[in-house]
Each structure stands twice: as C-alpha cells, then as structure tokens.
Amino acid sequence: MKKSLIFFIILILAQSFSQHVVAQEKYSEGLLWKVSKEGVHVGHVFGTIHINDERVTRIPKVVSDIFNESKGYAIEAFPSSHLWNPYHGWQDIKKRMMLPEGETLEDIAGKELADNVQRIMTNNGVSVDYAQKIKPWAAMFSIATKSTHTGPIIDHKLLDIARIQEKELYQVESPEELLASFYAMPMESQVSLLNDKVKAFPEMSRIMDKMIVAYLKEDLSGMMQASTEFIDKEPAKKVHYNAYIKHAINIRNVVMAHYALKPFRDAIHWLDYYKGQSAGAFISIGALHLEGGKGILSLLENNYGFELERIPVAFN
C-alpha cells in the first residue's frame, strides 16, 4: 500500500513537471495569439515591446487587420496623461517612487552606487534631488539609454487608433498593482539588481538591440534572456535573479491574466449584439509577459480554460 502511494505521488509530480515543461516550450515563441473559449472566438493577445524604435513601432498588416475588426482594446496600462487615465494613478507615480522623507539612496545603497546612479540619471535630464531620493527598484528601471527615435510605442499607437474607432477601452494593470509588485521586492535584491544595472549601463544599447532582434524573430525566450543579461548570474546571487523574475514578471502576469477576463467576457456579449460577426477584444501586453510556463498565455490556458492558437507575424 505504501509503495503504491509513493508511486502515485511520483506519477503526479512527474505529470506536473511535464506539463510545466510543455508550457515552457510551447510559449517560447510567438507574439500574436487567437483566444477562444469553448470554441467561441473572444479575441487576441499581442506581445509588444515598449521601445519606440521604428523597427518595432510599424504595425504589421496581420496585426492591423485583426485589430481593426476588434470591438475592444486592452492596454497594459493607460499612459499618464489626464486624457487617457481615468484613475489618474500615474499622475503621482514619481512621488511614490521616492524614498520616505529624510532617507536617501546613499543611506540604503552606499555612496559609490548612489553617486553612479546620480551621474547616469542627471545625464538623462533627471534632477539631482530626484536621483538622490529615488527608491532602488525605481532607479533600476529608470536607468536606460536615451532613445534616438521619436514617436510613440506601438501600444500607444494602437490606443490612438482605438479611440478613433470608438472601441471599448481597458487596462490590465493599475499603477497601484504595478507598484505593489515592486514594493514587496526584498531591499537586498533591489540594491544588488541596481548595482548590476549600473555596471551593465555601457552595454545597454547592445542589450536593447538584442531584445529587438529577438522580438522581430518572435523569440520570447531570446527576449527574456536579453532582458535579464544585466543581472549577475553568480550562484550566490541567484536569489536576486529569482526576485527580479518574481516581482517584475510573474506576479504581474497573474494580475494581467485576471484582468484580461473582463474584455474577453464582454466579447461574448458583443457576439450577440453584432449578430455573430467578429467582435473580439484585442489585448496588447509586453511580450516578456507571454513567455513560459508562468506567462500570461499559459495562465489563460491552464488556469482559465481558454484555447490559444498562434498566428505568425511578418515584420516589414
């Protein structure tokens, strides 16, 4: 009896691991996915990259055609302007990225790292006061090379078109939920990751280019590898890499997948209103959130019972 129980437990664990591996491989590539529920088409998920490089801001024809037929558009988060954000949550987000009154980045991260952060951020136009008082996680995400391109990212391009087409609008992550995922990141990991980002700063243009190349190939795994290239992969620091993936990606995936249910549910009602015509919701989300067994696509399939079908994207 005991042997049978042990065998049963091992079998269950093996099946669970196998399912995770399949999901990891299944969602290692692909940017555009048709989403259905019990055979009924409810919309599409499109992985984007939040860079305004013209190589990735031109809307591919297959994406444009599907988007134009959709009756709803969900964006990862509305832009910060008063026009778009009905919650006005982004208007004070910079203030909430600051340390409590009386604390400085130097107090938490040390003088050398704080000085390097200040140098990089002030060169990008940030005030000295802000650079001295920014939280480590916020500094990590604020450190970036200046774009040489103009114009909006593709998510915001689609938002402008959606407004003109009078689509129903949604966002799948509020500013409060984004901030909450980073507030919970251990301070030791925040400082370690910030230090890694500063060290890798001279290579950021090359890393961003690697991400763009992987994106144009629809290579989600390649994008993830490039996006985390700045992190020190020494075994002793693995805990910080894991913290980054957990708080920057995985926790937010759960939130976004949950809020994607609303536009997909509405799409079922639109089918009746539009007498069976294609009336799905179109959701644009950063492509890194699609990747792997804990990505949004896997969550939609395994946690919520949606069927997903990949549609190849051809970039000009």
Which of the 8 DSSP states describes residue 205? H
On whether residue 232 sits in a domain, the answer given is yes
* pLDDT computed for residue 272 by the predictor: 67
Query: What is the largest distance, in Å, between two alpha-carbon atoms of the chain?
Result: 70
* pLDDT computed for residue 18 by the predictor: 44
* pLDDT computed for residue 91 by the predictor: 54
Neighbour order of strands in the sheet with 281-286: 168-171, 72-75, 281-286, 40-48, 32-37, 307-311
Helix (H, G, I), strand (E, B) or coil at 308: strand
What's the rounded Cα separation, in Å, for the pair 223 and 226? 5
- What number of other Cβ atoms are within 10 A of residue 205's Cβ? 13
For 17, counting Cβ atoms within 10 Å of its Cβ (0-12 exposed, 13-18 middle, 19+ buried), the class is exposed
On whether residue 115 sits in a domain, the answer given is no
E strands present in the chain: 32-37, 40-48, 72-75, 168-171, 281-286, 307-311
On whether residue 76 sits in a domain, the answer given is yes
On whether residue 127 sits in a domain, the answer given is no
Give me the residues of the chain with pLDDT under 70, please.
1-24, 80-92, 145-147, 271-278
Counting the structural domains of the chain, the total is 1
On whether residue 142 sits in a domain, the answer given is no
CB 280 within 8 A of CB 41: yes
On whether residue 92 sits in a domain, the answer given is yes
* pLDDT computed for residue 26 by the predictor: 83
pLDDT tens digit sequence for 97-121: 899 999 999 999 999 999 999 999 9
On whether residue 68 sits in a domain, the answer given is yes
* pLDDT computed for residue 96 by the predictor: 82
On whether residue 130 sits in a domain, the answer given is no
Please indicate, yes or no, whether the overall pTM of this predicted structure exceeds 0.75: yes
Q: Which domain holds residue 205?
A: 2-97+152-311
Helix (H, G, I), strand (E, B) or coil at 166: coil
